[in-house]
Amino acid sequence: MANNSYDRRVVITGMGVVTPLGHDLDTFWQNLITGQCGIDTISSFDASPFATQVAGEVKNFDPAPAFPSPKDIRRADRYSQFGVYAAWSALKDSGLELAKENCDEIGVFIGSGIGGLQTTTEQLKILLERGPSRLSPFMIPMLISNMASGLVSMYFNLRGPNFATCSACATANHAIGEAWRTIKMGDAQVMLAGGAEAAVIPVGIGGFCAMRAMSTRNDDPKHASRPFDKERDGFVMGEGAGVLVLEELEHAKKRGAKIYCEIAGYGNTADAYHLTTPSPGGEGAARCMKMALRHGRLNLTDVSYINAHGTSTPQGDVCETQAIKTVFGDHAKKLVVSSTKGATGHMLGAAGAVEMAACALAIKNSIVPPTINYQVPDPECDLDYVPNTAREMPVNAIINNSFGFGGHNSTIAAKKFVG
């Protein structure tokens, strides 16, 4: 295996996304920085009985290029189809020639917050209507939340470390952070890391409606998700996947890989407070950001951009703003903060990876994506949220926040690569 050294540097060399803004990296990025919105009235089922009738759906998706056969597609839940496709896209983007690599040193951490909810729903209906003998023998492998990670390892013969993180909306960021740690520890040379989610189905929408957590701005879907705006009324669900190729620096340099940015640090804390509500003042989130900065040996003034968790919930956006001010003090007013969830919806367990891809592209292209639908300032959310229009500016270091139900907090710190 690779030589042990806790100071090994880790870079991002490939990225793949499946999102409501597009199924490839370039389309996603162009739509994101031009302020497009992938949220609309739900079209995959009749949502009229539901309090929330809008979502960020992935439309016109064809998983076939990433799968060995049509049979394999049928045996994969929609969330796994997203995850496998995003991993396939990331590998293509990275330029890795797997035939020339030691695949014992390439691993996969792709998680899901909810897993195969569509399969669970469909099979429960069969059980109730037709009896247990008619259940599919593929039901369990399709619905378990580790299967996207398992399928990617099988299809590409990646035999290194492999598991699935599951920490609600912090899932993908935790996968990236644990992959970073795995490479730094010398247990892999390359890791595919991210998350996948497909919960825009009746039971998924209904469950969150029952919590009264989602926006009910059904008459104006394009403006339903409005992070940090005073008139925000809840999050909008999205679906899709994001997978990043993380690589040990010397390995990447040896093969002449393009490098988007360097992963500098990782924070992982718990609120230990409430099932769904963040701790007062964002205390747990603040500790998480501090940990990522400490790992990355980054000064507060090094950070120029924060990709906020920013879900468009009344309480969550205030707590995150308070956490940022707690960590950054006077510098909080000088850095820029944006949430891309106004454009994609909240992709739950996939959100952190898709947003990390946006961060990496912000660093590479010196453009910060906007917070769309920001119209009415909230006195309690008083930072620079890059309202409505992308901003060209140097982006030297970023942090990417993801926080999940259960009090799970995850932060990734990254910086411009300097050889």
Active site residues: 169, 309, 346
Burial of 269 (0-12, 13-18, 19+ CB in 10 A): buried
In the chain, the amino acid numbered 304 is S
Which three-class secondary structure state does DSSP give residue 401? Answer: strand
Sheet containing strand 397-404, edge to edge, reads 162-163, 106-111, 190-197, 240-248, 10-18, 261-270, 408-415, 397-404, 305-307, 336-338
Cβ contacts of 158 within 8 Å, gap of 6 or more: 98, 103, 106, 107, 108, 152, 192
Q: How many CA atoms lie within 13 A of 257 on its CB side?
A: 31
Given a contact cutoff of 8 angstroms between Cβ atoms, the answer to whether 178 and 272 are in contact is: no
Tokens representing 405 are 């139900």
Query: Buried (b) or exposed (e) across 32-60, using 16+ Cβ within 10 A?
Result: bbebbbbbbebeeeebeebbbbbbbbbee
Partners of 192 in beta bridges: 108, 245
- The C-alpha atoms of residue 30 and residue 17 are separated, in whole angstroms, by 13
Given a contact cutoff of 8 angstroms between Cβ atoms, the answer to whether 358 and 369 are in contact is: yes
Cβ contacts of 62 within 8 Å, gap of 6 or more: none
